[in-house]
Amino acid sequence: MDNLKAQLILRNGQFTTLDRQNPQATAAAISDGYLLGVGMDNEVMRFANDQTKVIDLNRRRVIPGLIDSHLHLIRGGLNYNLELRWDGIPSLADAMRRLQEQVARTPAPQWVRVIGGFTEMQFAEKRLPTLDEINAVAPDTPVFILHLYDRALLNRAALRACGYNRDTPNPPGGLIAKDANGEPTGLLLAEPNALILYSALARGPKLPYDYQINSTRHFMREMNRLGVTSVIDAGGGYQNYPDDYKIIEDLHQAGELTLRIAYNLFTQKPGEEIADFTKWTNMLKPGDGDGYYRHNGAGEMLVFSAADFEDFRMPRPDMAPNMENDLEAVVRILVSKRWPFRLHATYNETISRALDVFEKVNRDVPFDGIHWFFDHAETVTDVNLERIAKLGGGIAIQHRMAYQGEFFVQRYGRKAAERTPPYKRMLELGVNVGAGTDATRVASYDPWNALYWLITGKTLGDLSLYPAANLVDRETALRLYTQANTWFSNEQGIKGQIKVGQYADLAVLSADYFSIPESEIRQLVSVLTMVGGRIVYGDDEFSTLSPFLPPAMPDWSPVNRFGGYFKPAAGATKLHPFAQTVCGCGNSCAVHGHAHGRAYQDAVGTDDQRGFWGALGCSCWMV
C-alpha cells in the first residue's frame, strides 16, 4: 500500500463514511477515480508525493455523494433552461414577481413555464395565483404553471397556443374547466389522470439540440450544487427510447456527464407495452454501459392499466379489470430476460393486485435475485410489506407527502397519514428501501428537502405528519440516500460510502448536517462535489476549483436570472468576489455566478467586461 500514490488528497475534514468498520475519518486519498485511502490525516498523507494535490477542507463535513433512486433527470434536462423554478420560494408574492420579470424577458413565441417542484402550502399565503392574477402579469406571453399532478394554470395566451377553445373535448380522466359561456378558463384538472397535464405541456416550443445539451449540463450542475453524484432515471411520459436519450448519450460520449446515471425504460402508449418491452429486451441487457451511464431495467411504467396517479385531491382510482393480465404478460417477458423492473404504485390496493401477479409469475419463472421494486407505496400495509420482503423486492420512497400531505389529510384524515409511507416499518421488516424525490414535476429535486422529511415527518407547509415511530435518525436517512440506493441500480459495494476501493464520489457541505438544527437541514448545499475524483462543483473557499460552465441557452433563460432551487440561507445566488467588483446588481442576478466570473478573469483579464456580462444576459449592468 505504501507504494501507491494519490493524485489528490482531501484533508482536515469531518468525514461520515457510512463504512461501519471505519465510520469517521479526517482525510481521503484518491487515485484514478477511486478511493485509495480513508483515515486520519497522518495515515492518509502517506499516499502523497511531490505530484499529489492536497485540498484543506477546513473541518467541513464530508458525506458520500448523494444518490437519488427516482429522478426524471433525462427528460428534465431537455427542458431545464426553459423553466422558471418556484422551488423553495417562500411566498406567492415573491413567486409572482419572478413570473412577471420572466414574462418581460421572454420573447415571442416562447412560453414561461413553472413545472412542478413546489406546492401552494410552501407559500405564506397558502394559495395558488388566480387566473386573473396570471393574466394581469402576462397578457400576451403564454404561461403554463403545473402544480403537482393535480392541475395546471394556463393564461389566455397559453390557451390560444394550445388550441383550446369551447369545442375542445375533455380527455379521459381530465377536465378542461369552462366558464358560463362555455369558454376554457385556463384551469386543467387531472381527475385523476395526469395525461391532460402532460399533453398540454407537450404543445410548448422545444429547445434545439445545442440548447438541450446546454440545458442538461445546467441541470446536472444544479444537482451537483446540492451534493448529488448519482441518479436512477425512472423514464417518463413523452420520453421515448432511443430518440429522447440522444442528448444524454452524446454528453456521455463527450465525457461531460457530471452525474452517474442508471436509466430505466418507460413504456409510452397504452396497448403497446408488450411490443415495447419485447423490442427493448432484444436491444439491451441490464448493466450495458459503464460507471457513468448504464441501463437499469424496466419501468416505472410497465402497463398503463396499473398506473394509479397520486392526486390526493381526488378519490383513489380503481385500476382496470384487465390490469392483472396486462401486467403478467409484461412481467413474464422481463423475468425471462432477467431484467430488473420497477412499478409506480401509490396505493395499497394497487400493490396487492400487482403482488398477486408477481407471486404467480415467480411460481413459474423464479425471480431468483432480480432486483425489482415498487415506487412510492404511500399506503402500503404490513401484510404487503411482508410479501415484498419474501419475494426479495424493494420500495423506492420519495417525499411526495411533503408536498401533498395536507391534501391527503383533508381526504383521509390525520390517522391515515401517519404511515404514508411507513418507511421505518419497511426497514424493520427487511424490505430493501431507498430514498429519492420523483422530481421534477411533483416534488423538487432537492435532496435536502427529502432528508428533512425523513427525519422530521414535516411537510413544506410545516404540518407534522408522522409520529416518532415512523421517523429515522440523520444517519439512517443519509444511508437511505446513499448506500441503500445502490441496491436499486445493482451497484452495491462500488459507491454509496467513503470506503477504500469505491468510487471517489463525495460532497463537502455548507454546514454540518449532523449538528445543525433540524430546521436548517433544508438549506444545505455542497461547497465541493466530486464524481470519480473529479471536481464537478465548487463554492465558497473552493469556488476557484469549480469547472467553467457556459451560460444557460437561450440568453433569456430563467436559469441565467434566477438559478435553480432558492436557498435563502445558503448563498444560492451569492456572487464570486470578481463578479461583485464589476456588477452592482446584487444577489438577485444569479447569472454572475462565481464560475463564470473566474473563468472570464482567467481567460481575458479585465478587458471588455461589459460585453462579457452582456453576453451572459445581464440586464442590470452597473460599474
- pLDDT tens per residue, range 363-419: 999 999 999 999 999 999 999 999 999 999 999 999 999 999 999 999 999 999 999
Same domain, 160 and 116: yes
**Distance between CA 495 and CA 506 in Å, rounded?**
10
Give 211-260 pLDDT, tens digit per residue. Answer: 999 999 999 999 999 999 999 999 998 899 999 999 999 999 999 999 99
pLDDT at 600 over 60: no
Give the count of alpha carbons within 13 A of 314, CB side only.
20
The amino acid occupying position 361 is V
The amino acid occupying position 69 is S
The amino acid occupying position 621 is W
pLDDT of amino acid 569: 55
Residue 506 forms beta bridges with which residues?
Answer: 64, 530
pLDDT at 341 over 50: yes
How many domains are there within the chain?
Answer: 3
CATH number at residue 43: 2.30.40.10
- Asked if 144 and 467 count as a contact pair (C-beta separation under 8 A), the reply is no
For 28, phi and psi rounded to 5 degrees?
A: -145, 140
pLDDT at 607 over 50: no
Does residue 75 form part of some domain? Answer: no
Give 294-323 pLDDT, tens digit per residue. Answer: 999 999 999 999 999 889 999 999 999 999
Does residue 289 form part of some domain? Answer: no
Quickly count: other Cβ atoms within 10 Å of residue 13's Cβ.
Answer: 23
**Distance between CA 384 and CA 380 in Å, rounded?**
7
Give the pLDDT band of residue 425 (cuts 50, 70, 90).
very high
Same domain, 125 and 186: yes
Range of the domain at 510: 8-65+505-544
- Mean pLDDT in residue range 456-468: 97
Does residue 135 form part of some domain? Answer: yes
Q: Is 304 helix (H, G, I), strand (E, B) or coil?
A: helix
Does residue 525 form part of some domain? Answer: yes
Q: Which helix (H) or strand (E) holds 335?
A: helix 323-336
The C-alpha R_g of the chain, in whole angstroms, comes to 24
Quickly count: other Cβ atoms within 10 Å of residue 254's Cβ.
Answer: 9
Does residue 239 form part of some domain? Answer: no
**Distance between CA 245 and CA 211 in Å, rounded?**
15
Same domain, 530 and 596: no
Same domain, 118 and 180: yes
Give the pLDDT band of residue 3 (cuts 50, 70, 90).
low
Domain boundary residue among 201, 221, 240? Answer: 201
pLDDT at 53 over 70: yes
pLDDT of amino acid 163: 96
pLDDT of amino acid 621: 31
| Cα separation values, 235 from 231, 286, 290, 299, 306, Å | 12, 15, 19, 7, 16
**Distance between CA 469 and CA 477 in Å, rounded?**
14
Same domain, 521 and 560: no
Arithmetic mean of pLDDT over the chain: 92
- Mean pLDDT in residue range 156-167: 97
Does residue 144 form part of some domain? Answer: yes
Same domain, 513 and 574: no
Same domain, 116 and 197: yes
Give the pLDDT band of residue 195 (cuts 50, 70, 90).
confident
**Distance between CA 331 and CA 57 in Å, rounded?**
49
Same domain, 188 and 123: yes
- When mean pLDDT is compared across 145-154, 440-449, 607-616, the lowest value belongs to 607-616
- Mean pLDDT in residue range 535-551: 98
| Cα separation values, 582 from 446, 587, 607, Å | 31, 13, 11
For 547, phi and psi rounded to 5 degrees?
A: -65, 150
In sequence order, which ranges of 114-241 are alpha helices (DSSP H)?
A: 131-137, 156-162, 195-201, 209-225
Domain boundary residue among 201, 236, 266? Answer: 201
pLDDT of amino acid 309: 86
Does residue 41 form part of some domain? Answer: yes
Give 491-512 pLDDT, tens digit per residue. Answer: 999 999 999 999 999 999 999 9
Same domain, 36 and 18: yes
Domain boundary residue among 179, 201, 223? Answer: 201
Pairing of strands 184-190, 174-178: antiparallel
DSSP classification of residue 461 = T
Query: Which residues, at least 6 apart from 467, have a Cβ–Cβ distance to it below 8 Å?
Result: 418, 457
pLDDT at 586 over 60: no
Quickly count: other Cβ atoms within 10 Å of residue 197's Cβ.
Answer: 26
The larger pLDDT score, comparing residue 623 to residue 124, is at 124
Give the pLDDT band of residue 554 (cuts 50, 70, 90).
very high
- When mean pLDDT is compared across 30-34, 189-193, 455-459, the lowest value belongs to 189-193
> What pTM did the predictor assign?
0.92
- Mean pLDDT in residue range 320-330: 98
Residue 30 forms beta bridges with which residues?
Answer: 8, 35
pLDDT of amino acid 274: 98
Closest-CA residue to 38 (of 502, 513, 511): 502
- Asked if 82 and 557 count as a contact pair (C-beta separation under 8 A), the reply is yes
Does residue 522 form part of some domain? Answer: yes
